[in-house]
């Protein structure tokens, strides 16, 4: 083979490598975003199918519990916004059942500490709140982002940049 053909083949291989590295990076970002959501859906399903003893702890792929192991009330009040009793602002969307009794910083800590890689505040917000529209999500995100930032300032987890965090 001549040198031009070899160089052309090397260039083609480098282009292919770059394309696959880009796809891999996108897939890793998707996994990081979806892991807490999948974990919380599992916890919700477990809570719904459990008997009167309350929800069982949901465990993510790393064996960490995302659900409070403490006592659970046998019945919850029914309202237009179920499980919203943890919110001080009545305009916030309802929280998912496993986070209804937690403070926002506790809920954020459970999500961040259960995620092996960095996680964005949007993902934490989606995991904690049941926002049905963009306005509700943005309101929840503002509340959650300030609590997550406060947690990083208090040394609970590391802040990596604009709304990106990682467990210690």
Q: How far apart are CA 107 and CA 38, in angstroms?
A: 16
The better pLDDT of the pair 68, 100 is held by 100
Instruction: Tell me the pTM.
Output: 0.51
Q: How far apart are CA 141 and CA 118, in angstroms?
A: 17
Q: How far apart are CA 4 and CA 101, in angstroms?
A: 67
Question: Is residue 58 predicted with pLDDT exceeding 80?
Answer: no
Q: How far apart are CA 133 and CA 137, in angstroms?
A: 6
pLDDT of residue 105: 92
> Above pLDDT 90, what percent of the chain?
35
């Amino acid at each position: 083979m001549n040198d031009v053909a070899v160089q052309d083949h090397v260039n083609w291989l480098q282009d292919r490598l770059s394309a696959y590295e880009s796809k891999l990076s996108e897939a890793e970002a998707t996994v990081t975003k979806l892991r807490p959501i999948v974990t919380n859906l599992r916890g919700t399903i477990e809570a719904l199918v459990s008997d009167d003893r309350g929800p069982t702890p949901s465990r993510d792929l790393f064996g960490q519990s995302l659900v409070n192991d403490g006592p659970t009330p046998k019945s919850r009040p029914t309202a237009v916004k179920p499980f919203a009793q943890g919110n001080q602002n009545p305009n916030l969307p309802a929280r998912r059942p496993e986070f209804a009794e937690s403070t926002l910083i506790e809920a954020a800590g459970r999500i961040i500490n259960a995620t092996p890689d960095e996680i964005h505040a949007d993902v934490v917000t989606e995991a904690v709140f049941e926002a049905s529209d963009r306005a509700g999500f943005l309101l929840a995100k503002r509340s959650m982002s300030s609590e997550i930032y406060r947690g990083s300032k208090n040394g609970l987890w590391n802040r990596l940049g604009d709304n990106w965090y990682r467990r210690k």
